[in-house]
Amino acid sequence: MTQRVCIVGGGVIGLASAYALVREGFEVTLVEAQQSFASQTSFANGGQLSYRYVAPLADAGVPWQALGWMLRGDSPLKLRPRLDPAQWRWLLGFLGACRRSVNQRNASHLLRLALLSQATLQAWRDEDGLDGFDWRRNGKLVTFRQPGSFEHARRHLADSRQQQVLSHAECAQLEPTLQDAPFVGGIFTPDEEVADCHAFCQQLVARLRASGRCEFLLGRSVTGIRHSAGTVQAIELGRETLAVEHLVLAAGHRSPELALPGLKLPLYPLKGYSLSVPIGQQHQAPQISITDYNRKIVYARIGQQLRVAAMVDIVGFDPALDPKRLALMRRQARETFADAGDYAAAIEWAGMRPATPSGVPLIGATAYRNLWLNLGHGALGFTLACGSGRLLGELLGQRPTAIDMQGLAPRAA
Ligand SMILES: Cc1cc2nc3c(=O)[nH]c(=O)nc-3n(C[C@H](O)[C@H](O)[C@H](O)COP(=O)(O)OP(=O)(O)OC[C@H]3O[C@@H](n4cnc5c(N)ncnc54)[C@H](O)[C@@H]3O)c2cc1C
């Protein structure tokens, strides 16, 4: 008999999970609090499918580096301590993960998942004809302003067969818009991809609707989960309840509000910003995705827009735009790519990355028999969505998973 899975959250993770589950033969009910899909963190993110740049933020030396950053007016990181135990627990967990060996172990889990994601998106594009989201394999160039950080990066390449170390002149030859930018060199990864995350989500919704196997409950907020003897029985939607057979939590940074006794969901929002800059005939925007390593800004051309994304603000749950942070991003983007687009007409956006302290998401079964997690993808949710959805489908379908779940399974977290 066909099993029905209820998913909480209609961002890129919930939708990719729904798509993978329908492909596995399940029927799905997807519940989303907002009136539209992917209107929260999956709306206007950096657009980078950054499969080989997955090292977690937590690393040896990062706490000191972070202190140095925060003394500067143009810091990519902002910390506003709050009277919130969740923030302190998260910061302590983050400090605990700031060790080289832990970083390397977590990076290897993320790389395994990222490469599975790349293969899964390729399969969905090839086998299902999934398109219409400005996908390109345009390559990614990480550029360095400081010789020291360039030297360090060239000595620690994630994948030396896939990555090329380039001088400033070679960078400019590859991407002419970098001609006058003050970079000493870069590392180019040709296989990296870019796409519009929001448009990708809309395509998944269209396919799910057409499948006849997915029911959507839009504008419905899950307010509680009923359980008994280690089994989830129903979700509460205000005064209504809906019985569930299996439940998947994919509610991004809001997921901890739905935690059950004994279930640890160590998530905290890392706020970031983007600018969507219209590109006209007269403009010269980069074709390759660029990461300005020292300023921690990413640039990606998505259709006729240049998406500029940056900042990690640990400031609580308020999603409001911060004009000072956006002004800094706009100034730095203009300095680097002066003619890339109409900055005056840029659309500003802020999103909350659902981050675990280690940077590794939680995917799979919990101590509750029929409760599953797919959350905590932090800065890499778009990159990791297809692989995470696929793993969840395989786990629920009781099939062997395509990759080893070590480090990714919630119970081991
Ligand atoms: C500035 C910025 C740049 C980024 N750039 C990139 C990038 O280049 N590449 C990349 O891979 N990733 C990037 N990311 C990260 C990526 O956007 C996120 O990891 C991803 O969008 C998270 O998806 P999600 O589905 O978990 O969360 P969301 O998109 O937030 O979706 C969660 C959904 O759950 C719903 N929900 C919450 N609570 C409830 C409830 N109680 N009942 C019902 N529904 C509920 C919410 O309304 C929301 O729609 C970036 C993020 C930011 C902020």
Ligand 1 closest atom vs CA 384: 11
**Helix (H/G/I), strand (E/B), else coil: 240:** strand
Distance 41 CA to ligand 1 centre (A): 3
Does any domain span residue 19? no
Model pLDDT, residue 413 = 45
Distance 230 CA to ligand 1 centre (A): 28
Does any domain span residue 206? no
To test the pocket of ligand 1, the residue of 6, 35, 40 to mutate (highest count of ligand atoms within 8 Å of its CB) is: 40
Count of CB atoms within 10 A of residue 398's CB?
A: 6
Output the 3-class SS for the chain.
CCCEEEEECCCHHHHHHHHHHHHCCCEEEEEECCCCCCCCCCCCCCCEECCCCCCCCCCCCHHHHHHHHHCCCCCCEEECCCCCHHHHHHHHHHHHCCCHHHHHHHHHHHHHHHHHHHHHHHHHHHHHCCCCCCCECCCEEEEECCHHHHHHHHHCCCCCCCCEEEEHHHHHHHCHHHCCCCCCEEEEECCCEECCHHHHHHHHHHHHHHHCCEEEEECCCCCEEEEECCEEEEEEECCEEEECCEEEECCHHHHHHHCCCCCCCCCEEEEEEEEEEECCCCCCCCCCEEEECCCCEEEEEECCEEEEEEEEEECCCCCCCCHHHHHHHHHHHHHHCCCCCCHHHCEEEEEEEEECCCCCCEEEECCCCCEEEEECEHHHHHHHHHHHHHHHHHHHCCCCCCCCCCCCCHHHC
Ligand 1 closest atom vs CA 251: 34
Does any domain span residue 56? no
Output the 3-class SS for 279-320.
CCCCCCCCCCEEEECCCCEEEEEECCEEEEEEEEEECCCCCC
Does any domain span residue 386? no
> 221 in ligand 1 pocket by Cβ < 6 Å?
yes
Does any domain span residue 89? no
Q: What is the CATH number of the domain that holds 163?
A: 3.30.9.10
Q: Confirm if 110 and 56 have CB atoms less than 8 A apart.
A: yes
Query: How many domains is the chain built from?
Result: 1
> 266 in ligand 1 pocket by Cβ < 6 Å?
no
One pLDDT digit (tens) per residue for the chain, 413 residues = 779 999 999 999 999 999 999 999 999 999 999 999 999 999 999 999 999 999 899 999 899 988 888 788 789 999 998 999 999 999 999 999 999 999 999 999 999 999 999 999 999 999 999 999 999 999 999 999 999 999 989 988 877 788 999 999 999 999 999 999 999 999 999 999 999 999 999 999 999 999 999 999 999 999 999 999 999 999 999 999 999 999 999 999 999 999 999 999 999 999 999 999 999 999 999 999 999 999 999 999 999 999 999 999 999 999 999 999 999 999 999 999 999 999 999 999 999 999 999 999 999 999 999 999 999 999 999 999 999 999 999 999 999 999 999 999 996 44
Count of CB atoms within 10 A of residue 317's CB?
A: 14
Distance 45 CA to ligand 1 centre (A): 9
Does any domain span residue 258? no
Does any domain span residue 140? yes
Does any domain span residue 331? yes
Residue ranges making up the domain that contains 322? 61-83+136-193+268-355
Q: What is the dihedral of CA 50, 110, 156, 98, to 10 degrees?
A: 120
**Alpha helices (runs of H) in 309-380, residue ranges in sequence order:** 323-336
- In this prediction the pTM is 0.97
> What is the residue with the minimal CA distance to atom 27 of ligand 1?
252
Bridge-based pairing state of the strands 246-249 and 371-375: parallel
Distance 9 CA to ligand 1 centre (A): 9
Torsion angles phi and psi, residue 383, rounded to 5 = -60, -40
> 9 in ligand 1 pocket by Cβ < 6 Å?
yes
